[in-house]
Structure formats: structure tokens, C-alpha cells
Amino acid sequence: MNLSLRRADWSALDAYQRINVLARPPRLHDTVQVAKVRAIITAVRTRGDAALRELGLRLDRCELATFEVGAEEFAAAQRSIDAAVREAMRRAIARVEAFHAAQQPQSFALDTEPGVRCEQVLRPIGRVGLYAPAGSAPLPSTVWMLGVPARVAGCPEIVLATPPRADGSADPSILVAARLCGIERVFKLGGAQAIAALAYGTESVPRCAKLFGPGNAWVTNAKLEVAADPDGAAIDMPAGPSEVLVIADDAAEPAFVAADLLAQAEHGADSQVLLVSPSERLLDAVAHALALQLASLPRAAIARAALAHARLIRVADLDAAVDIAERYAPEHLIVNTRDPRALLPRLSNAGSIFLGGWSPETLGDYCAGPNHVLPTLGFARAFSGVGVESFLRRVDVQEATSAGLRAIGPDAACLARAEALEAHARAVDLRLAALEGAAVRIAAGADA
């Protein structure tokens, strides 16, 4: 099968050409779609369940009497899912829970000065809303990647939304995953209307403080809209098409590398796949393997569309490959070299890193332990993937005794006046004077 792949020799490129080779396809700002998303949000916010029913009939082509999944539908889902799949889910959830339990941050307290006690206390977000896509490829794995850290963090209420199928039912695998994660409330809502309902609440759907989960452009735009509204909801992170960058040398198995690239490409036509290698022989072999494997792939059309903007980049050495990875900041980074761990100390700009030929990114998608909800579009330079801390709020506590105020109060008053904030300074001065037993009266506008 003929497969044309974009090739580049990094050493032969000038600065502008390097920028172009690593540029992600431009994301068109679809003003028409954004306007429609805003209209959907406004409808849900102002008319609640009535708007959800109208939108469900028009967009999902199903009419629902109630949105929340009932006990009978949960039971039917349990019966419909193969036992082997359920057990694989249980094992995956156990590993994900073990990993996330280990990343639980800690509260602490210390005296920064005698008599000045400062504390950090951790509080879970009260109610969180999770979104699990269920289009051409339902993603039950997203349920445990979000539900497990929310549970470990101690969130008292976890609500899940997932699009209904044409018959008005929720995808059974989504429901089974939800129950395995202890999620009791699931709503059959998809797209921008689901995000609006979770952010603002309706008669049936509870309002959530923070929203999590991937989705299509409608979901992404809706999340950005509600996050920008002070009365809306916070969101997990900026989202974009899924992506992988593979660093491989001549010790890598070409078939493995090709399989890893295709695993990412089949997510969607806008998925990003890059291979960086100092070996021309490996690049040729991977290109050949891609064509062979693509021929029998069920989602070949989607993968082929993604490969149309893939890059195979030849570099002088692995040092240059590391530089490219750090510059690109991929969602997933696979290091398939003779000594992958030797490169790890120099790698930081990635959502998740996979070391060695026996570590396909697929393990991270489902069952290794770390989260698969990760930053894309280069946001890995500053953002981390979803973790327990994503579901927590850090609250700082400060308590001073009279001795503590005497010790640090003068510094506070001095610095407040340096910033021309006289009322700040007086809030300290009054207390210090009271401690000295002096009756201090400061008229409004008088000098201290």
C-alpha cells in the first residue's frame, strides 16, 4: 500500500524551517461554532431541563424522559459486558488507584517565627463533574482516569455525564466503569449542553465546581466558555488533539514503533504523530511497517488522515532528538532506544513518558497506573496531567500570638507603607499599640 509520509533532515533545516516542521496544524477558530456553543449554554442556563430535552432531540436524535441513569439500566449494563472485560477494568482501576494514592499531597504546619504558626490544609472540591466521550469509540477508561483520583482526593460528590446512544441508553461499558469507581450519578448528556448543565446546574443536574474530561470541539469550546465565566466552573486544563512523539535509535523494532504511531493516529484525523531518529534505516523500516499495518487497521481511514501531517525526522544524534522533544512538548513521549533511562534526566516537557521497547503508550491509556488525561498542544511545558491534586484545594492558615505579632508586625507595617497602603499598616499599628497599653487614636487621613 502506498503511503506518503513527510520526511525531514533536522541538520539541513534553518531556524524557520525547524519551526515549520514542528508546527502543529493550525486550529481554526470557528466563530460560527463558538456562537452556537454560546447559544447552547445560554439556553441550558436559562431554561434548564426543557432546553436539554430539545437539544437532545435535535443533536442526539433521542428523546429522554429523564437524564439520570436508573438502577435498571445500570443492572442491564452489568449483564451486557463480558466478564473478562469487567475483570480487566477492575485490575486497571486497582493499579490506577495505587498510583494515585501514592501522589496524595500532604498538609503541614510550621512556625516561621516564634509565635507565628502557618499551615497548609487540603480540602477536596465539593462536587466535580466528569465527562466521558462515547462517540465512534466510547472511552470507559476515561471514567476511571477521572473517577479514581477524585475518589482518592475525597471529593464528596462525583457526577458523570456521557452522551446517549440513538436508543436513549448510555454506553454499557461507561456505566460499568462508573460503578467500579463508585460513581452513583450518571447523566445521559453529551456535547456543549452537557458541559453547560454541569457548570450551571438544571432542575435535574447538580451544579459542579470543576469539570474534567476530554471531548470534541463542541465540548472543548463549551469548557473554555464556562471557565471564562465567574459564575461558571473551573476546568482541568486546555485540551487539543491527542499526540505522540517517539525517539528511537537503530536498536528499536520498526514494527513496534509503527504500531505506537498508529495507536495514536487512530484516535482522530487531527491526531499528531512524530518519529525522531538518528537512523535513516529505522525511518525507512518504520515507513514500510506503517503501510503494512495500516492495511488491516479497522480505523484505517482515520489513521491515514492523521498520518497525512505526521513527520519522520532524522537527527544527527540522540542529543538532537532530546532537544526536539523538549521543544515540541508532546502529550505522550516514547523513548525506544538502547538505554532509554539515560535520557530521562534531560526530559521534562511531556505529559507522560514511556521508556523502552516494551512500554507502549497503550499501557498508559488503560492500566499501568498514571493518568491518561494529559496536556496537549505544547501545554506540557507548563501543565501536568490530571492527578489527585487536580481535585484538591490548598488552603493556607496563619495564626499569630501577641509575641508573634511583636516579632513580625513592624516588618508588615513597614512594607505596607512602602506600597503606600496606609490602612494595611494601621491594622498592625493598632494591635502593637494595644499590646503596649497605649490608647491610640488615629483620625481618618491623619499621619501614623
Q: Annotated catalytic, 331? A: yes
Q: Which residues of 147-173 are buried (b: 16+ CB within 10 A; e: fewer)?
A: bbbbbbbebebbbbbbbbbeebbbbbb
Helix axes 83-102, 172-180, angle to 10 degrees: 40
Q: Annotated catalytic, 332? A: yes
| Beta carbons of 93 and 179 less than 8 angstroms apart | no
| Beta carbons of 409 and 432 less than 8 angstroms apart | yes
- Catalytic one among 97, 243, 266, 331? 331
Q: What region, left, alpha or beta, does residue 213 occupy, with left being phi > 0 and alpha being psi -120 to 50 degrees?
A: left
For 61, other C-beta atoms within 10 Å of its C-beta total 11
Cβ contacts of 385 within 8 Å, gap of 6 or more = 351, 352, 370, 371, 372, 373, 374, 375
Distance (Å, whole) CA 161 – CA 193: 10
Helix axes 217-227, 191-200, angle to 10 degrees: 20
Distance (Å, whole) CA 49 – CA 432: 57
- Catalytic one among 100, 267, 332, 372? 332
Distance (Å, whole) CA 211 – CA 199: 7
Per DSSP, what are the bridge partners of residue 248?
336
The grid cell for 315 is: 537527527
For 418, other C-beta atoms within 10 Å of its C-beta total 9
Exposed / middle / buried, residue 1 (Cβ in 10 Å: 0-12, 13-18, 19+): exposed
Exposed / middle / buried, residue 15 (Cβ in 10 Å: 0-12, 13-18, 19+): exposed
Question: What 3 state SS string does 280-331 have?
Answer: HHHHHHHHHHHHHHHCCCCCHHHHHHHHCCCEEEECCCHHHHHHHHHHHCCC
The grid cell for 205 is: 443536574
Which residues have a catalytic role annotated? 331-332
